[in-house]
Structure 1
């Protein structure tokens, strides 16, 4: 492996980044790109809100940036398994840079803006499974936990810093300037990714199957291998129950606790602080943990955090609980990525991650809709408790099924054959 280190012990995060130039390039590229993406999202939300005066328009902006690309998950994953990962990631960043430049120059009307945002988000959706599938080619197997935690730490820290950067840049450069910074961030990311070693697709002998057939085989593989299926369904179920938390927390702060905007910001930002702290902890000590146990604990803590937030007696307690919940979300991400990278063969890894991220996006959108209805007919505390209970039930099922699935012969040790291998 290109970035593999010598020796038998896993490396610390700083050591790994220092010794593995390819991982350092991927880490820095994601850091720059995610920071730019986060600050431009804030800018576009403010722009749409000010120019239309309608909350629905902002909701549509978020929806086309999340749900629409998620529906293409099977195909975005198939592209990652079909093409050279370095070239694919560079192309995705260049497409996003071009789209942002068009927006900067034209500041188009809402329908055109939504279409451009959808294109940019689709490129981002393709990039995600490709970047996850690339990690095992950049580091030694023993360093996967540390690598996943380190990359996750950088990405989430950048996303958390994005709104702060937007607030600082707006008075200086205005809307177009902030959007231009995002476009430049994609170009910088593309240059960094171009320095990665070539990561060619793992192809089968003979003529390559069609993209549709590869996408279908990815879904079939995901549902046929017990370990992968349990991780996929468990992760999706936990998100489907708990995805409503952002909306519920806003209502909880304003209607239940009746606090000001500063407290609302702290409550909504607490989970991000917990995420960054969780990634930092796991990048340092994650190799000592059992990944299946870490996954189950992550599911449980993230769900229990919402349940207890619904029972919280004060906004300070809710803020603390959401911070702890962020630790669980970091554990979910690192454990699921590491387990899948070690379970799934390289030629199928992109499709598995593509389907996972696509399903998570759809689950989050459904959670927004169902949770919004529940919020309207009940209250924020009831909604959060219901979300937490549902997530804990899903966690319990995963805790029962995952060990059994991993013991199956056709689980982690002998992956099921793909359609390409059969035909």
Structure 2
């Protein structure tokens, strides 16, 4: 477990570091905001569409080897960027290669967890992994700010490539990883994973609920920037969410085993949504908005830990990678839709009303999910 946590922290920090460098590089060389937006879409949204396939890869091979291969592919792609700093089309190709490898890595890293820790420790293990990766993601931009003036874009990208190599080295020491027998083909596996998700009511409800909450609340980052204005308030509001997120993971790592996944999921959905609603309602009082966003961050940690633990306990091992691939892919699509719809609402109304609407919609999704999850399958009924 410790090797997985350290590997994830290293590669996420490096990736966050290089993303800042690439955004600044693309902005300065093209002078176009659209080019930066395309870079983000290629790095985040496009790989999410491959969720069913990336999860199937994690189920077809030994998961440790899958993760090591993904880190090596990412190291090669980022290394090529550092050596060449190519024109935008080729830069986007290399970013896409890295992003797809990362999308394969993510479900494999979550699917391998039940093989590394006892069932009772899964909530704490998910919390520890979430804390490490989110802390690393927060640290990345600060590292970029400190390193860019001295080693410039190529040097920062080289640091990222080394971080992937070190991560791959750490993953060599993982023990107890599992693999599933290969079936007729990757597409067949992907269809089987989607079929299992759609046929299993509790899994379908959890994934749809998660995506619904994200679809309503994903616009909050943009809305908070508008709400905070051009001064430091926007950064502080965004930082409040990060602080709450890290505190939430830390608390769940210590006390999360006392909460079942259903309670964590519903609490997380509700607190996440309520935080945005209260932020919009208290927009004129900065301290109240800051506190609401900090509490909301803890809610995001709860829904993340609860959902991951639920899938790890309810999905058979040979389908677990596909379950996570489908979840993360669907969440990526939901976030993109939230940005688009939220931008229209922001332009037509105000940041405060957008946040209130997002929170209210998320609470409605929470209520519907709670009704659908009135019963929860016992672990003994799940085939392992």
Q: Distance in 2 between matches of 1:95 and 1:267?
A: 36
Task: Name the structure 2 match of 1:378.
Answer: 349
Moved more, 225-234 or 309-318: 309-318
CA drift at 1:314: 2.6
Check conservation: 1:224, 1:416, Cα contact below 8 A.
Answer: no
Q: Aligned pair 1:264/2:234, yes or no? A: yes
Q: 1:208 to 1:290 in 2, by over 3 A?
A: closer
The answer for the alignment partner of 2:246 in structure 1 is 276
Cα pair 1:86 1:198 within 8 Å, conserved: no
| Correspondent of 1:358 among 312, 319, 329 | 329
Equivalence for 2:372: 401
Q: Which moved more, 1:129-138 or 1:162-171?
A: 162-171
1:328 aligned to which of 299, 314, 324: 299
Query: How many aligned residue pairs are there?
Result: 383
Aligned to 2:204: 229
Instruction: Please name the residue that 1:17 is paired with.
Output: none
Q: Kindly indicate whether residue 102 of structure 2 is the aligned counterpart of residue 124 of structure 1.
A: yes
- Give the C-alpha shift of residue 339 in structure 1: 1.1
Q: Distance in 2 between matches of 1:308 and 1:139?
A: 38
Alignment partner for residue 87 of structure 1, among 65, 70, 82?
65
1:153-172 equivalences under 5 Å are 153-172=131-150
CA distance in 2, matches of 1:227, 1:179: 42
SS state at 2:374 partner: helix
Shift of 1:416: 8.6
CA distance in 2, matches of 1:394, 1:53: 41
Residues of 1 paired with 2:259 and 2:77: CA distance?
42
1:307 corresponding residue in structure 2: 277
1:7-48 Cα deviation digits (max 9, x unpaired): xxxxxxxxxxxxxxxx00001000111111111111111111
- Counterpart of 1:109 in structure 2 is 87
TM-score (normalised: structure 1) = 0.88
CA RMSD of aligned residues (A): 1.5
**Counterpart Cα distance in 2 of 1:290 and 1:187:** 37
Q: How does 1:116-265 map to 2 (within 5 A)?
A: 116-197=94-175, 199-203=177-181, 208-254=183-229, 260=231, 262-265=232-235
> Which stretch has the larger CA shift, 191-200 or 319-328?
191-200
Gaps in structure 2 of 5+ consecutive residues: none
